[in-house]
Amino acid sequence: MLAETLIDRHPQVFHTADARAWDSIQTHGLLPTAMLRDLVGADFTGARRRSTVYTVPGSDHTVVIRDQQPLKFLNQVLHEDTTEQDFLDILDGRCFFWATEDRLMRIVKGRNYRNTPQVVLSVDTASLVSAYGDIIELSPYNSGDVHVPGLPRRGRSTFQLIADYDYDYWARFRGRSADPVVEVTVPGPIPDILDHISQVRLFPDDFDV
């Protein structure tokens, strides 16, 4: 897949977080869970998180580390070369964006989050690719959701660099029923995330930066 194709088909990508984390995002940038653990001095390795963790580093910013309840059947869908801890580490090591607003709204309005204020960051894809295009990786699935058995297998190869991602295959395979790209991810932190944001919204009530 060409980076230009990603930009053309998905000019905006979307990140959602607990609204209470917005101050922390403005201060530290967008951090993957692994770095949030270090920031607050917590250790969540060894098992999927069964509850959301709310912590306050110092006295000013709240850090929200969400649960991993949707990974209930993860051990049934892993490739042979990937352990459960391997995959949890892969997820915790990156920042995630939804490739479409439809996917975003499924999460924002879903049972788990609709009663909790969410901050939604609309991010300019061209700007993000300009800064992180050499490490951006794409996924054809909601990688953190294995809430029922029998979902597509996943592992180390789930995330592919833009140049290696077979967009045409997924477009043919999915047809009109689903999107060829579901997640756009950046392994590691995005300390300059504010430079790439085009809009900030708070659900259920919208606001602009």
pLDDT digits (tens, 9 = 90+) for 16-28: 998 888 988 998 8
Tokens 């920042």 locate to 95
pLDDT of residue 33 exceeding 80, the answer is: yes
Query: Would you mind telling me the total number of residues written for the chain in this entry?
Result: 209
Contacts of 167 (CB under 8 A, 6+ apart): 1, 5, 6, 180, 181
Structure confidence at residue 8 as a pLDDT band (50, 70, 90): very high
pLDDT of residue 209 exceeding 80, the answer is: no
pLDDT in the model for residue 73: 85
Cα separation, 93 vs 90, whole angstroms: 5
Whole-model pTM: value is 0.88
Give buried/exposed letters for 169-202 (b at 16+ CB in 10 A, else e): ebeeeeeeeebbbbbbbbeebbeebeebbeebbe
Select the highest-mean-pLDDT range: 45-54, 159-168, 200-209.
Answer: 159-168
What is residue 99's DSSP assignment?
A: S
Using a 10 angstrom Cβ sphere, with 0-12 exposed, 13-18 middle and 19 or more buried, the burial of residue 100 is middle
Phi, psi (deg, nearest 5) at residue 108: -60, -40
Q: Report percent pLDDT > 70 for the chain.
A: 84
pLDDT digits (tens, 9 = 90+) for 74-124: 888 898 889 988 999 999 999 999 999 999 988 888 776 777 888 999 999
Contacts of 54 (CB under 8 A, 6+ apart): 20, 62, 63, 64, 65
Local structure of 71: helix, strand or coil: helix
pLDDT digits (tens, 9 = 90+) for 172-203: 988 877 889 999 999 999 999 999 999 999 98
Short-list 1, 5, 66, 13, CA closest to 182? 13
Local structure of 108: helix, strand or coil: helix
pLDDT of residue 208 exceeding 60, the answer is: no
Start-to-end CA span in the chain (Å): 33
pLDDT digits (tens, 9 = 90+) for 142-173: 898 887 787 888 998 999 999 999 999 999 98
pLDDT in the model for residue 206: 54
Structure confidence at residue 59 as a pLDDT band (50, 70, 90): very low
